Structure 1
Amino acid sequence: MSTATSAAAGWTNPLRDPRDKRLPRIAGPCSLVIFGVTGDLSRKKLMPAIYDLANRGLLPPGFALTGFARRDWADQDFGQVVYNAVKEHARTPFRQHVWDRLAEGFRFVSGSFDDDDAFDRLEETVQALDRERGTAGNHAFYLSIPPGAFPVVLKQLARSGLAKQDGQGWRRVVIEKPFGHDLKSAIELNEIVNDVFPEDSVFRIDHYLGKETVQNILALRFANQLFEPIWNSHYVDSVQITMAEDIGLGGRAGYYDGIGAARDVIQNHLLQLLAFTAMEEPVSFSSNELRIEKIKILNATKLIGPLDETTARGQYTGGWQGGEKVKGLTEEEGFDPNSRTETFAAITCEVDTRRWAGVPFYLRTGKRLGRRVTEIAVIFKRAPHLPFDATMTEELGQNAFVIRVQPDEGVTMRFGSKVPGSQMEVRDVSMDFGYGSAFTEASPEAYERLILDVLLGEPSLFPVNAEVERSWEILDPVIDHWTRQEKGPDPYPAGSWGPESAGAMLARTGRNWRRP
């Protein structure tokens, strides 16, 4: 049987027992079209992820990858670009026979987004893949392009018939963040998308939701009875969700200037992490049930004011970081010397439910901070009575349960323990679980999981309209408040943990930021 014929017939792994749900799911006949194949995201993440999926046996034999860009490339030229990206960035070892089979399905279409002829040629290419590769009318379109180009590409997909759902196969669209820049623009973008693709065919990528440790939040909470009795306001003092980066923004002015840290990270990544942390147990782990519980939490999430005291924003200045002298934001190439774009943002929220009433959720993100780390820290209340002399417990902090999302994926529990010796001296110790040491299998990259879910039509890890729009409803008042202020972001030196106003934000309540 030929590759195309076997794919069209619905290829399955002959070694796979379909009754064993522990085995990985394998995509059926399909293809992926990437718009923006010349960008960093495609080269560093998407192309290597596709190879890694093929290397793990999770793509069908007839899988096809089509690139669309303005370059004057032949199919072979595009293949060389993919090859270079795979050799440099793939997670799994390079195997020639896997590459050879994958490369048979590479196609390239040259053109601009407003070129009707180019999209007609793309439609012809897709039709040819159905005949030659057995893709069976199943095609996903990945928009790895600036948000401003979304409307024109979506309209071209509709005009050319590429988005047509004819019952003979499926058509899906993948959209990268940001999903608008405020609530109004997000609603407009969602309307444009849904005019072309029904909502169940739209996959909005948030790569953080594809990380193993993010999904492990659900396993930790709902597979273990240990945490449920204390996962509430009776025992939890506060929750701190941090995404810190130690890099600057040189070369990213075109995207970042005028966007800022709050829009770039809090609106999507951090509010999604908040939802996973605070949500109730779903009836099942079907995509619909997960979404219902996440949306409930986002609907219950509110800002705590006054915003002058419960939010903070900053902009990094030059200094020394890691033994290297670095520039401040306004000295970076492409940035306005008078830019008011924040590179650090922190907000305070509450989740107005019986479980979380009175517990502040602190969300912060920033560039040029002390180190690269993303974590969720659940900080517990102090013991109501300590039968020890104060001098014996002066190094004792609050208990904490910390989920490390990146880069050192794992979980840490902090608690008090007696110091060896004749006196009853208590200090903090940590118990640590690391993914790298606990499991022999390396965690797949987030884009591997997310691309496979797109091809399988599994929407669990993709935000829907209601989540996107509700997230903007939460964040918009903060952006509006900052915009109305005469002064810009507070300065903070590179390598620090943000501006002084961020520390003051917690100090007013007698708390401190956890130092990752």
Structure 2
Amino acid sequence: MVSEIKTLVTFFGGTGDLAKRKLYPSVFNLYKKGYLQEHFAIVGTARQDLSDAEFKQLVRESIADFTEDQAQAEAFIEHFSYRAHDVTDAASYNVLKLAIEEAAQKFDIEGNRIFYMSVAPRFFGTIAQYLKSEGLLATTGYNRLMIEKPFGTSYATAEALQNDLEDAFDDNQLFRIDHYLGKEMVQNIAALRFGNPIFDAAWNKDYIKNVQVTLSEVLGVEERAGYYDTAGALLDMIQNHTMQIVGWLAMEKPESFNDTDIRAAKNAAFNALKIYDEAEVNKYFVRAQYGAGDSADFLPYLEEKDVPADSKNNTFIAGELQFDLPRWEGVPFYVRSGKRLAAKQTRVDIVFKAGKFNFGSATPAQESVLSILIDPKGGVQFTVNAKRVSDAFDTRTIDLGWQASAEDKQNTPEPYERMIHDAMDGNGSNFADWNGVATAWRFVDAISAVYTADKAPLETYKSGSMGPDASDQLLAANGDKWFYTGQ
């Protein structure tokens, strides 16, 4: 039996695409599961001038594909209201304040306010400060701020944003969203690692040879050249999603599984991440752009619409991360992400050291690999050594695997549903904290500085491949190779 959550959520950007595609269906799922019952309210706000009835119709359409019982949907929609609002105008906040207070009174909600910012990042600090100065924060219960990425565009801008937010909110009231942390198989990293003594005991330099994180995409830049050419794979995928996944892999074992201890354990690892100088960036990182492929549909990046002809933007990044911790001494963490690659895949491959026992055969034992398949098909695969079927005692690798069933997938909460629920519960385990964000930016800024100055090679790779040869050579320098080859 679930417990009812009493809360009032205000969605800034309430008429936007994210709200319609993800946020309102996620809140509806929480309602259908019983987490939200009678004492909740949703206030939408944006510049668009809509009546309550028009806004409710927008919500009705956004949840249509998730509606089995129309009467249930209508009861849910009754908890929604809307006010047009200019986030840059202090006087406009009084209109929003009255709407929030009316909704709180109507549904008997004392305090417990969440403000979700699905707006352009340049407004984050402005909204936070006006929420406080214009009296929109609750005086009882809690106040929490949910913030979409990107959290800054560099360490300096992220720090400035953090300072602005902390003028109105304590850091433990800030919930920085990275939806990858809401993915079921990312959360499974903790279960696999800490729930199985065989892995828990071996999660260190004595048994692990290297760790690999792959976030590959088959699509090119599509219609996003205006944004993507200023960000590239480094800022679009490495600074946020990849680093947050690495946090779960590299973290120390937490004292307990609450958000405070989990963040402390992650920060022990993040604080030990080595920041590279120019020579080290060139040694440990590879940047590249996609070129043509076998299909005529695969244009080289420089020929894509709205991409500058002289662009040096990275559409592929591969690199080695190092953690100055006894646990990880000498263990490289390899990361890669790129567009126009051979397959869409988000996965983690933990490569264990090969056994040294001599079977007297021509095929010695190979490295065992634990693979956590995050997208598009959730699953776990463990590649281990076994005897080959032959007269001689030769070895081979076999796969022990599990894949999420159709029922598992149907019952899996969407990342945004999980993260909204966690924010309502005050559980920050699956949100990025300031220390982790700051460390990621300091690490990435050091790489960006080299690339901005054009002091690193820019490789090219064939569309439909898994990246440039230099990516393979990066690992080969350590006697390693990518486990996932795109097959």
User: What range is the shorter-chain TM-score in?
Assistant: over 0.9
Cα deviation per residue 1:342-397 (whole Å; 9 max; x = unaligned)?
1211221112211211000011111221111111111112222443433x46xx74
2:432 corresponds to 1:455: no
Task: Measure the CA separation in 1 of the matches of 2:301 and 2:85.
Answer: 35
Paired residue secondary structure (1:338): coil
Gap change, CA 1:501 and 1:511, over 3 Å in 2 = same
**Equivalent position SS for 2:274:** strand
Find 1:125's aligned residue among 99, 122, 130: 99
Alignment match of 1:495 (pick from 459, 464, 470) = 464
Match of 2:142 among 167, 170, 191: 170
- The answer to whether the 8 A contact 1:63-1:102 is kept is no
Q: Could you say if the C-alpha distance between residues 43 and 215 of structure 1 is closer, same or farther in structure 2, counting changes exceeding 3 Å? A: same
Two-structure CA RMSD over aligned residues (Å):
2.2
* Structure 1 pair 36–318 and aligned structure 2 pair: CA distance change class (3 A): farther
Within-5 A mapping of 1:302-321? 302-303=274-275, 306-320=280-294
Question: What is the percentage of aligned positions where both structures have the same residue?
Answer: 33
Find 2:396's aligned residue among 401, 422, 427.
427
* 1:341-420 matches, cutoff 5 A: 341-390=313-362, 392=363, 397-420=366-389
Deviations 1:412-456 (A, max 9, x none): 001122232333343221110123269586211111110011112
Residue range with higher mean Cα deviation, 188-197 or 278-287: 278-287
Choose the corresponding residue for 1:213, options 176, 179, 185.
Answer: 185
Q: Are residues 1:295 and 2:267 paired?
A: yes
Q: Corresponding residue for 2:11?
A: 34
* 1:303 and 1:348 in contact (8 A); partners too: no
The answer to whether the Cα contact below 8 Å between 2:361 and 2:392 also exists between their aligned partners in 1 is: no
1:444 to 406, 413, 417: 413
1:106 Cα offset (Å): 1.3
In 2, distance between residues paired with 1:189 and 1:282? 29
| Alpha-carbon shift at residue 149 of structure 1 (Å) | 2.1
Q: Which amino acid aligns with 1:350?
A: Q
**TM-score where L is the length of structure 2:** 0.93
CA displacement at 1:265 relative to structure 2: 1.9
Q: Is the 1:233–1:355 contact (alpha carbons within 8 Å) kept by the matching residues of 2?
A: yes
1:330 to 296, 302, 327: 302
Quote the Cα distance in structure 1 between the aligned partners of 2:91 and 2:322: 52
Letter in 1 for 2:114: A
Distance 2:120 2:229 in 1: 14
- Asked whether the 8 Å contact 2:129–2:167 carries over to 1, the reply is no
What is the CA–CA distance in structure 2 between the aligned matches of 1:178 and 1:186, rounded to whole Å? 9
Matched-pair contact (CA < 8 Å) for 2:111–2:141:
yes
Match of 1:21 in 2: none
C-alpha distance after superposition, 1:298-333 (max 9, x if no partner): 011215662212101122234356xx7133333434
Compared with structure 1, are the counterparts of its residues 150 and 36 closer, same or farther at alpha carbon in structure 2 (3 Å cutoff)? same
Partners of 2:23 and 2:189 in 1: how far apart? 25
How do 1:261-272 residues align onto structure 2 when only pairs under 5 Å count? 261-272=233-244
What secondary structure sits across from 2:322 in the alignment? strand
How far does the alpha carbon of each residue in 1:218-266 deviate from its partner, in whole angstroms, 9 at most, with x for none?
1112121121232211121110011112222222234322122112222
Alignment of 1:186-201 (within 5 A): 186-201=158-173
Give the superposition deviation at 1:155: 3.2
Hey, what does 1:259 align to over in structure 2? 231
1:326/1:40 CA distance change after superposition, 3 Å: farther
Deviation of 1:482 (Å) = 1.6
Q: Which one of the candidate residues 49, 62, 73 is aligned to 1:85?
A: 62
Partner residue in 2 for 1:477: 446
2:24 matched to which residue of 1? 47
C-alpha spacing 1:478/1:43, structure 2 compared with 1 (3 Å): same
1:286 counterpart residue number = 258
* Aligned with 1:465 (options 434, 459, 472): 434
Number of residue equivalences:
483
Distance 1:274 1:440 in 2: 24
Distance in 2 (CA, whole Å) between partners of 1:204 and 1:79 is: 28
Moved over 4 A (4+): 437-441
| Cα distance in 2 for residues equivalent to 1:73 and 1:136 | 27
- 1:114 lines up with 2:88 in the alignment: yes
Shifted more, 438-447 versus 297-306: the winner is 438-447
SS in 1 for 2:337: strand
User: Is 2:172 aligned against 1:203?
Assistant: no
Q: Assess, with a 3 A threshold, how the Cα gap between structure 1 residues 133 and 328 changes in structure 2: closer, same or farther.
A: farther
- SS in structure 1 at match of 2:124: helix
Gaps of 5+ in 2: none
Structure 1 unaligned regions, length at least 5:
1-15, 17-23
Judged with a 3 Å threshold, the aligned counterparts in structure 2 of structure 1 residues 76 and 437 are, in CA distance, closer, same or farther, namely closer
Residue 151 of structure 2 corresponds to residue 179 of structure 1:
yes
Change (3 A) 1:146 1:275: same
User: Are residues 110 and 334 of structure 1, via their aligned partners in 2, closer, same or farther at CA, if it must alter by over 3 Å?
Assistant: farther
In 2, the alpha carbon distance for the partners of 1:116 and 1:497 equals 50
CA distance in 1, matches of 2:247, 2:414: 22
Q: Give the partner amino acid of 2:387.
A: K
